[in-house]
Amino acid sequence: MAMTVNNMTFDCADARELAEFWAAMTGWIVFYDDDPEVLVAPHFPATGPTMLFIPVPEGKTAKNRLHLDLQPSDRTRDEAVAQALALGATLIGDHRKDDGTGWVTLADPEGNEFCVERSAAERGEPEGVRSYRIGS
């Protein structure tokens, strides 16, 4: 029996503010109404996984057990890292190497960790090809 990933759900203090951060990072669109939950999707209607932001009263207390690895499609890894920092992300760990490999670990404005990897162009891969090289 198969399942489909429907949402990547974030518990957060300010759903709209965090959704705006992630929409800016991904180039996706923020969808909200009077509901306190906010959806971020690449288009509407959404046909694939979306990001759902749900306000909760408690704050984040521990390291994420699951995180997103972002791969830029229209800029370099370093440009995406600079954008994230300008939007309010915090640098957690810089794992870039002299040969251009590696990634950068950041936290969004509410402390949720994520990584920015090299773009496909930086990896020397054709558009739409996805590799599974660990640590590159």
Q: What is the pLDDT of residues 25-66, one digit of tens each?
A: 999 999 987 789 999 999 988 888 999 999 999 988 888 889
**Could you check whether 1-59 and 62-130 share the same CATH topology?**
yes
pTM for this structure? 0.86
> Strand runs (DSSP E) across 1-130, as ranges?
7-12, 29-31, 38-41, 50-55, 68-70, 90-94, 104-107, 113-116
Structural domain spans, the chain: 1-59, 62-130
The answer as to CATH 3.40.50.2300 being correct for domain 1-59 is no
CATH homologous superfamily of domain 62-130? 2,3-Dihydroxybiphenyl 1,2-Dioxygenase, domain 1 (3.10.180.10)
Positive or negative, the CA dihedral 51, 121, 105, 83 is negative
* Contact indicator for 11, 38 with CB cutoff of 8 Å: no
105 forms beta bridges with 93, 115
pLDDT confidence band for 134 (50 / 70 / 90): low
